[in-house]
């Protein structure tokens, strides 16, 4: 704990004043955030962000002044930090522990900046012109985020808010001009799935987007999207910096695949898992009522098998799960098909869940890229179903196979209550981050705390399921499936120099003395 407190120093005004403690940023802080005042002279002004506890009860009326002592209950100090890695010690022989090339696990504290409203802001709300865009594929909760961004902007006193239609295309398509957004207009959009603004893939020239932002005098730009949209947001930020535009860019990560690094989870994921689990249970019901029933469900996950893994555990009725991160063989004694045969012979039923990106090495991909630059995958679900039917036919075992692809039903759903709340918090914090003057940032939950994070760090690479992780082990424990005779695609942990602490030796049995008495 000494190390923890040594990160803080006391200011000159004494220990009794909480404002007197300041965070000393670690050297080379990887989570440092660009700020609009880094390059422009932008004086901070006292925030007018108030909740209604101060007595303002009429929508649209001016916010009342609150007692300065109340401020601590509303604002988050800019020095607040959230610890990114919270396991205090991890033995290198433990599952899922990352360690250095010498096999040593080192505690390197990494801090992310805590999100929330600041007492000092860098934009006069009356001069704010905000724009919001949603890009990429659909995800439950998009409307909730749009709605809360609008609500929060209005709470600050902003009344110039534009909704860009159909993703980045809306900057150039004259048939779809921006929509003026207000609390009144978006009040009920959380009751519906999809995006009120529309989405698209593909991108007009960056210069055209930045030209429009400049022409429309936008100074806060909110991008709700996944890895691609965030890459776009960063590119736009860089162009705006070059033009010395007084504009902040704030992302809100939308990826149903939950494939963004560092974040605990992205919005819509829980809803997707819940709905995906329903599809699996339907496949189980069909298969269990059929003679030699085989249920096959394909779920989303271009590169990451998170939805598939979590929905499999949630359902509990899955015999085989196949995800992009783990290779497998179909044929042969230890292959998937032989295992399915055993299941059918033994139980008369087999339920298989596959992620969209699984087994791409086994089939001829369609090849090429979509409008956004994402690889176009071969349809593994259909290919797999065909192979299963073919195999059982050659074995002369009659089966009744049902194939379910619930992708678009899941994506179009209204989100569940947990995601409604999650989206509200993300939307509100996006606006707080923008008013605080941060730019090229995104909002996410890290170890249960909401944080402002630099976009380039979170989109460096997509997060994938680690086959060596505790969660994947839980998943295959739940299905009971064997290793289908294939090497893991994600490299195994390197063996450290023999004898060093951290070598991958099996855990020694705990000595009796180390087991706390009274707990056995
Ligand atoms: N590297 C990039 N630079 C600029 N824009 C990008 C980049 N990658 C994707 N985009 C744009 O971001 C938008 C959304 O990307 P896409 O991959 O479809 O969805 P998502 O944001 O959900 O990953 C598209 O308009 C796409 O053209
Ligand atoms: O059919 P579409 O619109 O191309 O979307 C398919 C993709 O959308 C997703 O559900 C989510 O993708 P994005 O987060 O990139 O929008 C992927 O799992 C899937 O590959
Ligand atoms: Mg993408």
Which CATH number is 251's domain given?
3.40.50.450
Q: Are residues 320 and 446 in the same domain?
A: no
Ligand nearest to the CA of 137: 2
What pLDDT does 6 receive?
A: 35
CATH classification of the domain holding 351: 3.40.50.460
Does one domain contain both 421 and 406? no
Please name which of 25, 201, 34 lies closest in space to residue 111, comparing C-alpha atoms. Answer: 25
Sheet strands side by side (includes 320-322)? 320-322, 349-355, 293-299, 400-404
Asked about 361 being catalytic, the answer comes back as no
Residue 508's pLDDT is 61
How much is the pLDDT for 149? Answer: 98
| Shared domain check, 178 and 110 | yes
Question: Ligand 1 pocket test: which of 138, 166, 202, 232 has the largest number of ligand atoms within 8 Å of its C-beta?
Answer: 232
Residue 372 CB–ligand 1 contact under 6 Å: yes
Is residue 28 in a domain? no
Mutational pocket test of ligand 1: of 137, 201, 370, the residue with most ligand atoms within 8 Å of the beta carbon: 201
pLDDT of 498:
39
Residue 363 has a CB neighbour count (10 Å cut-off) of: 15
The DSSP bridge pattern shows strands 130-134 and 220-225 to be parallel
Q: What pLDDT is recorded for position 125?
A: 97
In this structure, are 377 and 438 located in the same domain? no
Which positions ≥6 away from 466 have C-beta within 8 Å?
Answer: 96, 325, 472, 490
Query: Looking at the structure, do residues 281 and 394 belong to the same domain, yes or no?
Result: yes
11 occurs within a structural domain: no
Cα separation values, 484 from 140, 276, 480, Å? 34, 24, 12
Cβ-contact 441, 35 below 8 angstroms: no
Torsion angle, alpha carbons of 357, 358, 359, 361, to 10: 40
CA distance 250 to 125: 16
Query: What residue owns the CA closest to ligand 1's atom 19?
Result: 136
- Report ipTM for this prediction: 0.96
Q: How far apart are CA 236 and CA 228, in angstroms?
A: 12
Residues 104 and 246 in one domain: yes
Handedness of CA 219, 223, 228, 230 (dihedral sign): positive
Shared-domain flag, residues 137 and 186: yes
**419 and 408 together in one domain:** no
Please give the Cα distance from 138 to 225 (Å, whole number): 9
**Does any domain span residue 475?**
no
pLDDT of residue 109: 76
Domain that holds residue 102: 36-43+74-265+415-459
What are the pLDDT tens digits along the chain (520 aa)?
333 333 333 333 333 444 456 777 676 688 999 999 998 888 999 998 876 554 444 454 445 555 555 555 689 999 999 998 888 777 777 776 777 777 776 667 789 999 999 999 999 999 999 999 999 999 999 999 999 999 999 999 999 999 999 999 999 999 999 999 999 999 999 999 999 999 999 889 999 999 999 999 999 999 999 999 999 999 999 999 999 999 999 999 999 999 999 999 999 999 999 999 999 999 999 999 999 999 999 999 999 999 999 999 999 999 999 999 999 999 999 999 999 999 999 999 999 999 999 999 998 767 788 988 888 899 999 999 999 999 999 999 999 999 999 999 999 999 999 999 999 999 999 999 999 999 999 999 999 999 999 999 999 999 999 998 899 999 999 999 999 975 544 444 444 443 344 444 555 666 544 444 333 3
Residue 191: inside a domain: yes
User: By the 8 A CB rule, do 113 and 444 touch?
Assistant: no
One domain, residues 114 and 215: yes
Domains: count for the chain: 2
- Note the pLDDT of residue 499: 38
Question: How far is ligand 3, taken at its centre, from the CA of residue 226, in Å?
Answer: 5
340 and 208 in a common domain: no
* CB-based pocket (< 6 A), ligand 2: 136-137, 226, 228, 255-257, 300-302, 356, 370
Classify residue 66: in a domain, yes or no: no
Nearest CA to ligand 1 atom 12: 229
């Amino acid at each position: 704990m000494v190390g923890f407190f040594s990160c803080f120093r006391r200011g000159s005004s004494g220990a009794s004043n909480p404002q007197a403690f300041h965070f000393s940023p670690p050297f080379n802080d990887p989570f440092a955030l660009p700020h609009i005042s880094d390059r422009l002279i932008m004086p901070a002004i006292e925030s007018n962000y108030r909740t209604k506890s101060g007595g303002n009860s009429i929508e649209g009326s001016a916010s009342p002044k609150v007692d300065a002592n109340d401020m601590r209950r509303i604002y988050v100090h800019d020095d607040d930090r959230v610890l990114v890695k919270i396991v205090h010690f991890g033995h290198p022989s433990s599952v899922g522990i990352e360690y250095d090339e010498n096999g040593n696990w080192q505690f390197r504290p990494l801090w992310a900046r805590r999100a929330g409203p600041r007492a000092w802001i860098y934009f006069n709300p009356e001069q704010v012109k905000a724009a919001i865009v949603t890009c990429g594929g659909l995800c439950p909760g998009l409307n909730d985020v749009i709605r809360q961004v609008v609500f929060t902007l209005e709470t600050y006193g902003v009344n110039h808010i534009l909704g860009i239609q159909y993703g980045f295309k809306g900057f150039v398509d004259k048939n779809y001009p921006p929509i003026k957004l207000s609390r009144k207009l978006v009040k009920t959009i959380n009751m519906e799935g999809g995006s009120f603004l529309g989405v698209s893939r593909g991108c007009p020239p960056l210069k055209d987007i930045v030209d429009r932002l400049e022409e429309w005098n936008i100074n806060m730009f909110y991008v709700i999207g996944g890895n691609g949209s965030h890459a776009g947001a960063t590119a736009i930020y860089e162009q705006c910096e070059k033009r010395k535009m007084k504009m902040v860019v704030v992302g809100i990560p939308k990826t149903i695949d939950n494939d963004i690094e560092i974040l605990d989870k992205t919005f819509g994921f829980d809803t997707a898992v819940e709905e995906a689990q329903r599809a699996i249970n339907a496949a189980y019901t069909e298969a269990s009522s059929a003679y030699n029933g085989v249920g096959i469900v394909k779920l989303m996950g271009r590169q990451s098998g998170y939805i598939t893994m979590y929905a499999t555990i949630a359902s509990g009725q899955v015999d085989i799960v196949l995800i992009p991160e783990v290779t497998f063989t179909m044929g042969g004694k230890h292959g998937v098909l032989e295992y399915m045969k055993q299941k059918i012979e033994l139980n008369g039923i087999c339920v298989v869940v596959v992620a969209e990106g699984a087994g791409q090495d086994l089939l001829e991909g369609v090849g090429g890229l979509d409008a956004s630059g994402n690889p176009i995958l071969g349809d593994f679900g259909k290919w797999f179903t065909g192979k299963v039917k073919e195999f059982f036919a050659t074995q002369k075992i009659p089966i009744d196979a049902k194939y379910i692809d619930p992708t678009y039903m899941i994506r179009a759903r209204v989100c569940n209550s947990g995601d409604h709340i999650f989206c509200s918090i993300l939307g509100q914090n996006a606006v707080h981050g923008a008013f605080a003057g941060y730019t090229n940032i995104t909002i996410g939950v890290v170890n249960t705390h909401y944080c402002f994070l630099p976009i380039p760090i979170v989109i460096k690479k997509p997060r994938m399921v680690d086959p060596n992780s505790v969660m994947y082990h839980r998943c295959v424990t739940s299905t009971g499936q064997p290793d289908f005779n294939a090497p893991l695609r994600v490299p195994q942990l390197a063996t450290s120099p023999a004898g060093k602490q951290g070598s991958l030796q099996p855990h020694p049995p705990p000595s009796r003395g180390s087991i706390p008495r009274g707990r056995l």
